[in-house]
Amino acid sequence: MGTTIFDIGEEGRSALRLPALDVPEKNLTELIPAEFIRKEDAKLPQVSQIEVVRHYTKLSRMNYGVDNGIYPLGSCTMKYNPRINEDTARLPGFASAHPLQGEELSQGALRLMYELGEYLCAIGGMDAITLQPAAGAHGELTGMLLIKKHFERTKGLHKRTKILLPDSAHGTNPASAAICGFEVVHIPSDSRGLVDLEALQAHLDDSVTGIMLTNPNTLGLFETDILEITRLVHDVGGLVYYDGANLNAIVGRARPGDMGVDIVHYNLHKTFSTPHGGGGPGAGPVAVVKKLEPYLPVPRIVKDGKKYSFDYERPHSIGKIHSFYGNFGVLVRAYTYIRMLGDAGLKAVSTNAVLNANYLRARLSKVYKAPYDRICMHEFVLTTKGMSEELRTLDVAKRLIDYGVHPSSIYFPLIVPEVMMIEPTETVSKEELDQFADALIKVAQEMKENPQILKEAPHVVPVYGASVRRLDDVRAAKEPILRG
Amino acid sequence: MFEFIPNTPEDQRKMLAEIGLKDVQELFDDIPKEILNKFKPTSLEPLSEFEAKQLLSTLAQDNANTDDYVSFLGGGIYDHYVPSSIPHLISRGEFLTCYTPYQAELSQGTLTWMFEFQTMICELTGMEVANSSMYDGGSALAEAMLMAKNITERKKFLVARSINPHYWDCLKTYAWGAGLELIDVPFTEDGRLDRAFVQKEVASLAGLIVQSPNFFGVIEDLTGLKDAIKEAFLMVSANPISLGILAPPGVFGADIVVGEGQPLGNFQNFGGPLLGLFATRMSYVRRMPGRMAGRTVDMDGKTGYVMALQTREQHIRREKATSNICTNQALMALVATIYLAMLGPHGLRRLAEINLQKAHYLAERISPLPGFTLRFSGPFFNEFVVQSRKKPARILKALREDGFLGGIDLAPYGVLDGNNLLIAVTEKRTRDEMDRFVKVLKRT
């Protein structure tokens, strides 16, 4: 364990033969001044091709992905990633197209982006969209910049400094707002787990730029007062930003645009099945209502008759937020997925995502405490608080590894102590849900009967997917070793 | 039913019974009727896998690509060869379908390659610590700027006008959002940063942003720049392939080195997904953005890896985090890791040499042609600017008819006067292709 590619191989080995130099070779110093030339080669591994393939195959076996089993990270929507999406994204016309080859040679790519934008606007009930943001947080930043531009244009920026955030928000929300210099004001949740309307009203005045809202929220609950919330925020001249991380719960049956929101971001790597890749790439398109369209990043993709083109002539645009047009390869995958599902498929997604979550909730809330024990949306939270003096949710999660399933998100949202946040998605079968529930119920029993076995979990390693026992985070923080 | 959703009507019935409901519709009772009633579908019919593949193939065929054309396009995205092992390895579901390694014990594969990647990027850039990826070259540069602002607590930045204008556009957006001041540094006749200009603007400076090789392909002289700007941050954007032969920015005292990692084994993907590289000094590690893997031990004392220094990150620090980044470009960083492992130290150096030699071969054949001159006298790597008498659009059209993607017309960028073409040459271009390219230029 712990072996890196630097630990294998021998001096002089290589895994790739380069094409021969078929032009006369000049002395390097004729082409580049000697002082600019590297003195020592970068210390890279020296391995043959089979060693590379075996090393990374070995590393892959030390991972657990959606392909291995249930992966119920809350608010991450770890659903199945259809392989056709990988094939379409790798078609040479997409994978080997250069971003600056010109509009007339890029009509297929432009059409795909234009149509995907239309589909996403239709799904969200919004008017216009940018596909540039490379991830959800990048979309949030784009949204904050749009809000800033709106108030700059309407001469309100000097007094409007605050952004309101429910205390159940993802950490990226406040971090994105802070980059734009907005002051973050946290709005508490009430006993229902929803935005506390009284607290919200107390903060609403003309110093507010708007509110960032995740709906359903991170407790897995639909903000039933959403229409009231958007009305109240609009009444003081604020804008409503809708974090679409949890769109999987409502896709195909309800639209943020019909809730009165002004800006919404979509996570294509969540709702629209593009693979998470160990942490990325994602894509975080941002859609807006008509009045904010002039501020969207350039270039916009426009259609004139049958011809598609880039529009850079947008004087009020916030500018560019990606080197080119966003994570195009991710857009191809999401396009493929949406076309395969169609309306009926999209509706089946939310139906089964919410059904699966509620089935798990129904089974597990008999054993763990569900702080908000009612019908949930696509995810729900449980807590281990009060179940044991000495054990924490972390121990429960690590013990689940011994049962061959991936733990849920833990310690988020911050407003529930010792929390587990569980999102099974629609692509898990009932048998797998039962296996996961059985494992968690068994662990609850072990909490009483054999706490030590939880404290020392995982035990089963090395097995496929799990290769080490519990790791020492504190040591990694105290004496960081960040390179070999 | 739908092939991606296992539940049958019978499954649904059993599950509803356990929940205590009769109909799936009841699951959505929390959504106000007013909202549900307004819903409109997209009018898209479901497609079979075969139909979807046909449709996407049709769209893809409507694009030129560098398999069908001989490409001299660069400007940050290059037509390098992608070894076959790479798409095969990264397609393994255990790499492709996992997420951020929140549960380290189930993610040692990801954490190990992150650690390898960080090590390799440090080696390339001559820096002490690297994160495991940013979105792209442009946003990496913007994040460097924000980090420099946070550390120096200053707001004035000098930005070389010779950096990639696409990155410059990103910087401008981020700077406006964060309330920073950007001052353009002009370039001299050799295509390099005007150092005298920099000297005049050192007072209360937060940082200087340069790119080498710069947008024109010219290698900047980084010598003494850090001394000139003193405690202000020197931020360098570098092409990682060029670092096979060029002295790393760390040698010149750079505080942050960033770059576009697409050339490291990633497809061009019409400009995304890309790979932002980010490296700095160890003394700044707690202020840097992005995820990192760190080495530690498990309960049995065995070596393993975890996400390190997470207290910098948004999921813990929220509005006080060093950055808002969460999802990054991990899979592209895995590609770069495998690519650099395959090349090794000698392979990377040789690859850089081949790019350099071929680019110079082509430049030397174009410069004597009537109506064409090399725009800049400074040394260049694998890309150069040609000034032409005729409009680049006409030249590019003629080249296209002969199967070439001939280069980038610089007119829309407004950074150079006259007619200018940016031409890039990678190891994939053969002498025969370059000779034919020159013939077409002669004809125009």
ipTM of the complex: 0.98
Q: Do A328 and B270 count as a contact with CB atoms less than 8 A apart?
A: yes
Strand, coil or helix: what is B21? coil
Interatomic CA distance for residues A358 and A18, integer angstroms: 56
Residue A462 near chain B (CB below 8 Å): no
Separation in Å, CA of B202 to nearest CA in chain A: 25
d(CA A43, CA A351) in angstroms, rounded, equals 53
The contacts of residue B185 (CB under 8 Å, 6+ apart) are: B158, B159, B160, B161, B193, B194, B197, B198, B201, B208
Q: Which segments of B291-329 does DSSP mark as H helices, in order?
A: 314-317
Which amino acid, A134?
Answer: A
Burial of A472 (0-12, 13-18, 19+ CB in 10 A): middle
**What residues of B are in contact with residue A45 (Cβ under 8 Å)?**
340-341, 344
Q: What is the pLDDT of residue B423?
A: 98
CA distance A9 to chain B (A): 10
Residues from chain B contacting residue A109 (CB–CB below 8 Å): 59, 62-63, 270
Q: Which residues of B fall within a CB distance of 8 Å from A95?
A: 65, 267-269
Nearest CA in chain A to B13: A355
Does the distance separating the beta carbons of A335 and B56 come in below 8 Å?
yes
Nearest to B217 by CA among B59, B394, B372, B420: B420
- Which site among A8, A60, A337 would you substitute to test the B interface, given the most B Cβ atoms closer than 10 Å to its Cβ? A60
A residues 364-423 closer than 8 Å to B (CB): 375, 377, 397-398, 401, 406-407, 409, 412
Would you state the structure tokens that stand for residue B361, as one six-digit string? 């071969």
Number of residues written out for chain A? 484
Which chain A residue lies closest to B220 (C-alpha atoms)?
A: A36
The distance of B378 to chain A (nearest Cα, Å) reads: 9
The answer to whether B346 touches A10, Cβ cutoff 8 Å, is: no
CA–CA distances in Å: residue A326 to residues A311, A345, B57: 15, 26, 21
**Token pair 């507010």 in the structure block, residue:** A208
pLDDT digits (tens, 9 = 90+) for B334-391: 999 999 999 999 999 999 999 999 999 999 999 999 999 999 999 999 999 999 999 9
Query: How far from A40 is each of A49, A257, B126, B238, CA to CA, in Å?
Result: 24, 58, 11, 18
pLDDT at B1: 64
| B91 contacts in chain A (CB < 8 Å) | 86
B41 touches chain A (CB under 8 A): yes
User: Does the beta-carbon distance from A178 to B324 stay under 8 Å?
Assistant: yes
Mutate to test the interface with A, among B82, B108, B118, B262 (most CBs of A within 10 A): B108
Q: Which residues of A touch B48 (CB under 8 A)?
A: 340
What chain A residue is nearest to B135 in terms of C-alpha separation?
A: A134
> Nearest CB to B109: which of A41, A62, A141?
A62
Q: Which residues pair with A102 in a beta bridge?
A: none
Query: In whole angstroms, what is the distance from residue A18 CA to residue B70 CA?
Result: 18
Q: Which residue in B has a C-alpha nearest to residue A131's C-alpha?
A: B272
- Is B201 in the A-facing interface, judged by CB distances under 8 Å? no
| Residue contact A456–B243, C-beta within 8 A | no
Torsion angle defined by CA atoms of residues A183, A184, A185 and A191, in that order, rounded to the nearest 10 degrees: 180
- CB neighbours of residue B124 within 10 Å: 31
Q: Which residues of B touch A326 (CB under 8 A)?
A: 271-272
Q: What is the pLDDT along chain B (444 residues), one digit of tens a residue?
A: 689 999 999 999 999 999 999 999 999 999 999 999 999 999 999 999 999 999 999 999 999 999 999 999 999 999 999 999 999 999 999 999 999 999 999 999 999 999 999 999 999 999 999 999 999 999 999 999 999 999 999 999 999 999 999 999 999 999 999 999 999 999 999 999 999 999 999 999 999 999 999 999 999 999 999 999 999 999 999 999 999 999 999 999 999 999 999 999 999 999 999 999 999 999 999 999 999 999 999 999 999 999 999 888 888 888 888 999 999 999 999 999 999 999 999 999 999 999 999 999 999 999 999 999 999 999 999 999 999 999 999 999 999 999 999 999 999 999 999 999 999 999 999 999 999 999 999 998
pLDDT, tens only, B404-413? 999 999 999 9
Of B42, B274, B412, the CB nearest to A123: B42
Instruction: Flag if A323 and B331 touch (Cβ within 8 Å).
Output: no
Place of tokens 């239709």: A122
B323 phi and psi angles, rounded to 5 deg? -165, 165
Cis peptide before A413 (omega within 30 of 0): yes
Binary contact (B327, A281; C-beta < 8 A): yes
- Rounded Cα–Cα distance for residues B296 and B301 (Å): 9
Tell me the pLDDT tens digit for each residue of B89-100: 999 999 999 999
Instruction: Return the structure tokens found at A169.
Output: 């928000």
Residue A370, SS3 per DSSP: coil
CB–CB contact A278 B345 (8 Å): no
State in Å, rounded, how far the first CA of chain B is from the last one.
59
Question: Dmax of chain A from CA atoms?
Answer: 78
Q: Give the pLDDT confidence score for residue A1 in this predicted structure.
A: 62
Optimal mutation site among A5, A229, A421, A468, interface B, most CBs of chain B within 10 A: A468
User: How far is residue B37 from each of residues A138, A258, B31, B41, B363, measured CA to CA in Å?
Assistant: 32, 9, 10, 12, 65
The tokens describing B171, both together, are 């910087």
Distance of CA A451 to the CA centre of its chain: 34
> Are B233 and B241 contacting, i.e. CB atoms less than 8 angstroms apart?
no
A180 touches chain B (CB under 8 A): yes
Helices assigned H by DSSP within A226-382: 226-235, 328-364
Is A310 part of the contact surface with chain B (CB cutoff 8 Å)?
A: no
Going by C-beta distance under 8 Å and a sequence separation of 6 or more, which residues neighbour residue A406? A64, A68, A69, A70, A71, A72, A73, A400, B103, B106
A90 close contact with B: CB closer than 8 A: yes
Verify whether the Cβ–Cβ distance B119 to A179 is below 8 Å. Answer: no
Distance CA A262, CA A297 (A): 16
CA distance A70 to chain B (A): 11
Question: Which tokens is B3 given?
Answer: 């092939």
Sheet architecture: strand order including B408-409: B372-374, B383-388, B420-424, B408-409
E strand intervals along B47-160: 70-71, 129-130, 156-160
Q: Which residue in A47, A87, A254 is closest to B53 by CB distance?
A: A87
Q: Would you tell me how many other CB atoms lie within 10 Å of the CB of residue A374?
A: 14
Interface test with A, best of B324, B342, B343, B394 (most A CBs within 10 A): B324
Which of B45, B272, B294 is the closest to A480 by Cβ?
B294
Token pair in block for residue A325? 């047009």
The position carrying tokens 């005298």 is: B196
Numbers of helices and strands, H then E, in chain A: 14, 12
Chain A residues with beta carbon closer than 8 angstroms to that of B127: none
B312 vs chain A: nearest CA distance in angstroms? 11
Distance of CA B308 to the CA centre of its chain: 23
How far away is chain B from the Cα of A292, in angstroms, using its nearest Cα?
16
Q: Which residues of B touch A281 (CB under 8 A)?
A: 272-273, 327-332
> A277, A258, A207: which is closest to A67 by C-alpha?
A277
Q: Please name the residues in contact with B32: beta carbons below 8 A apart, sequence gap of 6 or more.
A: A224, A226, A227
Residues 6+ apart with CB under 8 A from B190: B218, B376, B377, B378
Contact across the interface for A171 and B176, Cβ inside 8 Å: no
The reported pLDDT for the residue numbered B205 is: 98
- Which residues contact residue B301 at a Cβ distance below 8 angstroms, ignoring those fewer than 6 apart? none
**Using an 8 Å Cβ cutoff, are B143 and B325 in contact?**
yes
Q: Of the candidates A6, A22, A279, which has its C-beta nearest B100's C-beta?
A: A279
Q: What average pLDDT does the structure give for chain B? A: 97
A84/B62 CB distance under 8 A: no
Q: Which two tokens stand for residue B21?
A: 């409901």
Task: Kindly state the tokens that stand for A385.
Answer: 């608080």
pTM above 0.95, yes or no: yes
What residue in B sits closest to A88 (Cα-Cα)?
B56
- List, as ranges, residues 334-393 from B with C-beta within 8 Å of A: 334, 337-338, 340-351, 353-354, 356-358, 360-361, 379
B413 at A interface, C-beta within 8 A: no
A448–chain B nearest CA distance, Å = 23
User: Do residues B272 and B198 make contact, with C-beta atoms less than 8 angstroms apart?
Assistant: no
Closest to A172 in 3D by CA, of B278, B321, B135: B321
Question: What tens-digit pLDDT sequence spans chain A (484 residues)?
Answer: 679 999 999 999 999 999 999 999 999 999 999 999 999 999 999 999 999 999 999 999 999 999 999 999 999 999 999 999 999 999 999 999 999 999 999 999 999 999 999 999 999 999 999 999 999 999 999 999 999 999 999 988 889 999 999 999 999 999 999 999 999 999 999 999 999 999 999 999 999 999 999 999 999 999 999 999 999 999 999 999 999 999 999 999 999 999 999 999 999 999 999 999 999 999 999 999 999 999 999 999 999 999 999 999 999 999 999 999 999 999 999 999 999 999 999 999 999 999 999 999 999 999 999 999 899 999 999 999 999 999 999 999 999 999 999 999 999 999 999 999 999 999 999 999 999 999 999 999 999 999 999 999 999 888 888 899 999 999 999 999 999 9
